[in-house]
Structure 1
Amino acid sequence: MRLPTEIFCTVLLLIFTNHSNADIPDCNYYDTVDISNVERQNDSYLYDDIRIPASLTGDYEYKQYRDLSREPVKKHLRACVCSLRPCIRICCPAKYILANGKCGDGLQEELARYESYIYLTSMNLTIDERVPLTEMTIIRDHFLACDEMMHLTDEYDYLEDGTLRISDDRYIEKQEYCLYPYQFNSDFPKSMWIVVHRCTTYLTPGSNEILTISLICYILTIAVYLYITKLRNVTGKCIISSIISRFIQFLIWLLDNIGVLNGICSPAGYSLYFFRLASNIWLFVVSYHVWKRLTSLSRDDPTCRFQLYSAFVWTTAALMTGINYMVNLMWENDLSKWNWLPLVGFIKCSVKETESGWVYISGPSLVLSTFNVAMFTMAAIYIRKVKGDIKKFAYEEEEEEGRIGCINFDSQTYLRFLRLSVVMGLTWTLNDIPQSARLNIVWRRIMNITDYYHCAFGIVIFILLVLKRSTLTLLMES
């Protein structure tokens, strides 16, 4: 019976060993930092000149959000640094985040140069201690999609645990804000700007994998349209241009999600904005051209029409991107205008999408989507009218010949409507729903379905445009 006893003790030891390397006891997640890239020295770790004993470290397999929800991530080592030294959370724009996760904006040197400090208030609100920021642990936080700038005067208290006391009955917890990084050469801390996290954004599970498959389908669709001569008409060229723009947009978005754009975040962000806007304008052009072709008596396209479309799309997208860049360049350091800036490279590498930033993305997209819906409606009405006239004519002929039968369900017509709705980009209208509405639980579920659909949009395009009978026939004949 000795062997089973040894096995039981071994299993018990492994359980306790595993537990000892898990979450750090009596340590808030937001008091920890990732030290996966820090080498162990004897029985401690050296992080920003702070020697952290191994007893204050633990392995974490999740990322915690401000609403205390968790997302599974790769196992990594974290240390409870705020139990050794007071901590202060300062934001770091995505464009300055390095490959090792640190922030390369030179803030530490700026804090030392200006000898910045803050008054640290005890938890019982009785003692205020002036503490230089260089003697505190600087935790670099990320900007989030719904961030808003808030200006505080000297009527606030910065508590020992990192909580901000704004008034007697209002507190902002440490996970709900971070300090704006470029304000320490002014009248700080009498006047302080903080970035308040109004909401948390999640990456829908499996979206990266779906998007990868979708990108492959985009490539296959482009290859088929370029290979088949008969598909290289004006409509086909417009569709290809729209797909290429969407492909580049989602490729940059995917690379941003997996964190490989460090060092080129700002150029990638402006490129993402350019191709996102271009793909939406191309959908408008496709919608206009399809409606024009359906209602026109002439079947021939002028040779210069595609060139005119291209000049319109690329010039408009470039002009809007240039305006975006100039607005950022002129007012990025004006904190009073921060909530109204596009802020490329702050929240990931893309333009900030909030209620105040609707003018940069949602505004133009909503205008284009309105035209797309209108032209799809007119095209659908025209097709139904023509189909109805044909059926009426056929019915009259059958009546004259004494062969009255039932009018069959026209599946081809409804399949054409489906293709038109996809090509004209009707579903992209849902992306223009305000951020405030997305916080509603019903809209959140609808948007989750929409997000998955748009991640798989390349698959949908491939099925509806390439795997249809006429395209496959042309492919076999080529």
Structure 2
Amino acid sequence: MRVNSLVLSCMIYLLKFCHFTSADIPNCAFEDTVELKKTHKQSNDSYVYEGVLVPAHMRGYYDYVELFNGVRTNVPKHLRGCVCQLKRCVKFCCSSGIPLFRPTKKAPVECDVDKKEYSPLVNITLPDSSRVVMNVLDKFVVQQGIPCGDGYMLLPHLYEEDQWELYENGTIVRKLDNLPRSRRDYCLTVFNSPLATKFELFPLYCDKVDAFGTIKISTTCMMISAPFLYLTILIYWVVPKLWNLHSKCLICYLLSLAIGTTLIVVINMSTSEYPIAVCATMGFFAYYFLLAVFFWLNVICFDLWQIFRGNISNIGHMSEAQRFRYYSLYAWGLPAVMTVITVGLQYSNLPAELQSGIGDTHCWLNTEEWSAMLYFYGPCLILILSNIAMFYSTVRRIYNIRREVQKLTQDDYTLRRMRGHQNNTWLFFRLFILMGITWLLETFNYLAGDWTGYEYLNAILNAVNALQGIIVFALLVMKKKVLLLIKRVICESIGKYRKRKTPTITTGNLNRPPIEGDEPHIQK
């Protein structure tokens, strides 16, 4: 009997507990709920929120809040009511009249403490597309909450693309993309418009987020990839048999990519805001080295192209040392000139949308503006397209020369030299496919902007681009010929080391004349 009573008591307790802790009000989206506090509780245990009676079946306990893009954040358990299904709602960021502010450029927005006098009148778009001016405090129930920390204000009096409309159901639409945003994904805040006599209501707009963790995935891939870039550089540096003009250009390419990648990783991995000077310095150095990546890839393509083209230019008659000097002047010099110009324009009186944004709103380029196309993606796109043209011309020339050589000569040396140039071309062609095409697709991804539906593809392309170091290592180092050369260098180094450590035995004492007393005593 005692056992049965104990079991029955436990079941009753669990049923009560489950009923008490049940979250998610049935058939009520989180964006339709408001927090019910003790001040809303009446003497008969009912709740009234801004004049709206909330029945018991439309109340529930929640241990989370839902922010922009459906991201849930755990919070202490609290009571909420499905008020917005009883009366239309509009969402404020803070308490009525409290503006937002951002402590620093990278910090999330916060509610201020000083209340401002503002106009609650807003143009509301009705279902028949007509627009009427409404007092939102009278016609709507006001929700409260900041959906994202990195949002920005829509200011149509300053930017034409910031035009917006608020609909009667609480949905907002930005005219730039005509994408509706529910109350979960925006909030209204007071702002002092220079065209108005008092504060007015403007939306805090949450832009597209990195829902698939693309930045985090890319940064992790770059962290894994960078050591392989440095290892490839080291191997090509210490193996003398690999030294030639192509390998020197390749080392410069890989060095630029390795340093640029490292700086981007440092920028992305920061958990706090860098000082402005440090941020700008890292950003401009990353800009310089990543520009140099494309110029050195262009040099590699040009060098292969001029080897196989019919009319040999002046540079074809130069020594490798002379050609490398000219190539270095081009591939290190032009990015330096472009970086100096970019720095100068960044700190000039140009409009913000025409500046690079390095060291201002970002440590890297501001890819949310078209200026990134002007400073980085545009020049890189031109270089990539020129590389494609040169590779196409080179491949055609290879096939033509190969046919002619096979018809006219069977000389082993000529055929071996031809095969060597051809192998180099196919090797760098594979590298170009890897490095050129992925950057080309990333440029198209930048041009696509906020187009949705390609998030998975974007994440994959960014990951492949970030893993270039591993793929380059596999193509350039994990080859039988290169591995044998590495083995030979290691064996020679070990042999020299052992030779230095082994004591030297001279033969001078072996043939010296006998000294009296040296003879062993023989017992008779």
> TM-score, length-normalised on structure 1?
0.64
Tell me, what secondary structure is at the counterpart of 2:321? Answer: coil
1:321 paired with 2:331, answer: no
What is the correspondence of 1:236-247 to structure 2 with a 5 Å cutoff? 236-247=247-258
- In structure 2, relative to structure 1, the CA distance for the partners of 1:468 and 1:57 (3 Å cut) is same
User: How far apart are the structure 2 equivalents of 1:466 and 1:64?
Assistant: 46
User: How far apart are the structure 1 equivalents of 2:344 and 2:400?
Assistant: 49
Which of 403, 415, 436 is residue 426 of structure 1 equivalent to?
Answer: 436
Larger displacement relative to structure 2 (211-220 or 385-394): 385-394
User: How far apart are the structure 2 equivalents of 1:178 and 1:319?
Assistant: 45
User: How far apart are the structure 2 equivalents of 1:227 and 1:29?
Assistant: 66
- What letter matches 1:119 in structure 2? S
Quote the sequence identity (%): 19
Which residue does the alignment assign to 1:120? 120
1:142 paired with 2:153, answer: no
The alpha carbon displacement at 1:103 in A equals 6.4
User: How far apart are the structure 1 equivalents of 2:427 and 2:379?
Assistant: 25
User: How far apart are the structure 1 equivalents of 2:109 and 2:207?
Assistant: 23
CA distances 1:68-121 after superposition (whole Å, capped 9, x unpaired): 5x5x9xx7658999697249886869x8335xxx569xx96xx96xx8654334
1:306 paired with 2:324, answer: yes
Which residue does the alignment assign to 1:477? 488
User: How far apart are the structure 2 equivalents of 1:246 and 1:273?
Assistant: 11
1:279 paired with 2:293, answer: yes
Which of 96, 110, 114 is residue 105 of structure 2 equivalent to?
Answer: 96
The alpha carbon displacement at 1:380 in A equals 1.5
The alpha carbon displacement at 1:417 in A equals 2.4
**Cα pair 2:257 2:289 within 8 Å, conserved:** yes
**Cα pair 2:151 2:205 within 8 Å, conserved:** no
Which residue does the alignment assign to 1:85? 95
- In structure 2, relative to structure 1, the CA distance for the partners of 1:77 and 1:301 (3 Å cut) is farther
1:251 paired with 2:262, answer: yes
Which of 435, 459, 463 is residue 470 of structure 2 equivalent to?
Answer: 459
**Cα pair 1:90 1:140 within 8 Å, conserved:** no
CA distances 1:411-458 after superposition (whole Å, capped 9, x unpaired): x96895254241474312222216454666786665444223212111
User: How far apart are the structure 1 equivalents of 2:456 and 2:33?
Assistant: 28
The alpha carbon displacement at 1:372 in A equals 0.9
The alpha carbon displacement at 1:233 in A equals 3.2
**Cα pair 1:86 1:160 within 8 Å, conserved:** no
Matched pairs, number: 409
Tell me, what secondary structure is at the counterpart of 1:342? Answer: coil
Which residue does the alignment assign to 1:291? 305
- In structure 2, relative to structure 1, the CA distance for the partners of 1:28 and 1:196 (3 Å cut) is closer
1:353 paired with 2:367, answer: yes
What is the correspondence of 1:45-56 to structure 2 with a 5 Å cutoff? none
The alpha carbon displacement at 1:310 in A equals 2.9
1:343 paired with 2:357, answer: yes
Which of 138, 149, 157 is residue 151 of structure 1 equivalent to?
Answer: 157
Comparing both chains, which one has the higher relative contact order based on Cα–Cα distances under 8 Å and sequence gaps of 6 or more? 1
- What letter matches 1:389 in structure 2? E
The alpha carbon displacement at 1:302 in A equals 4.0
Tell me, what secondary structure is at the counterpart of 2:397? Answer: helix
Which is higher, the Rg of structure 1 or of structure 2?
2
CA distances 1:36-83 after superposition (whole Å, capped 9, x unpaired): xxxxxxxxxxxxxxxxxxx998457x9743xx5x5x9xx765899969
- In structure 2, relative to structure 1, the CA distance for the partners of 1:152 and 1:230 (3 Å cut) is same
**Cα pair 2:93 2:146 within 8 Å, conserved:** no
Tell me, what secondary structure is at the counterpart of 2:149? Answer: strand
User: How far apart are the structure 1 equivalents of 2:296 and 2:408?
Assistant: 37
- In structure 2, relative to structure 1, the CA distance for the partners of 1:176 and 1:28 (3 Å cut) is closer
User: How far apart are the structure 2 equivalents of 1:63 and 1:138?
Assistant: 8
Tell me, what secondary structure is at the counterpart of 1:267? Answer: helix
The alpha carbon displacement at 1:467 in A equals 0.9
User: How far apart are the structure 2 equivalents of 1:472 and 1:90?
Assistant: 61
CA distances 1:321-373 after superposition (whole Å, capped 9, x unpaired): 333333333357xxxx4444432356653212257232122211111111111
User: How far apart are the structure 2 equivalents of 1:31 and 1:312?
Assistant: 63
CA distances 1:1-54 after superposition (whole Å, capped 9, x unpaired): 779889989998998899769xxx97549999xxxxxxxxxxxxxxxxxxxxxx
- In structure 2, relative to structure 1, the CA distance for the partners of 1:354 and 1:128 (3 Å cut) is closer
1:417 paired with 2:426, answer: yes
**Cα pair 1:270 1:321 within 8 Å, conserved:** yes
User: How far apart are the structure 1 equivalents of 2:228 and 2:448?
Assistant: 32
User: How far apart are the structure 1 equivalents of 2:170 and 2:349?
Assistant: 30
> TM-score, length-normalised on structure 2?
0.59
CA distances 1:277-299 after superposition (whole Å, capped 9, x unpaired): 22112211222223234456968
**Cα pair 1:121 1:128 within 8 Å, conserved:** yes
Runs of 5+ consecutive residues of structure 1 not aligned to the other structure: 33-54, 130-135, 398-409
- What letter matches 2:383 in structure 1? L
- In structure 2, relative to structure 1, the CA distance for the partners of 1:309 and 1:83 (3 Å cut) is closer
- In structure 2, relative to structure 1, the CA distance for the partners of 1:364 and 1:304 (3 Å cut) is same
Which residue does the alignment assign to 1:227? 238
Over the residues paired in the alignment, what is the CA RMSD in angstroms?
Answer: 5.4
User: How far apart are the structure 1 equivalents of 2:189 and 2:340?
Assistant: 26
Tell me, what secondary structure is at the counterpart of 1:353? Answer: coil
The alpha carbon displacement at 1:178 in A equals 8.4
Tell me, what secondary structure is at the counterpart of 2:273? Answer: coil
User: How far apart are the structure 1 equivalents of 2:227 and 2:482?
Assistant: 18
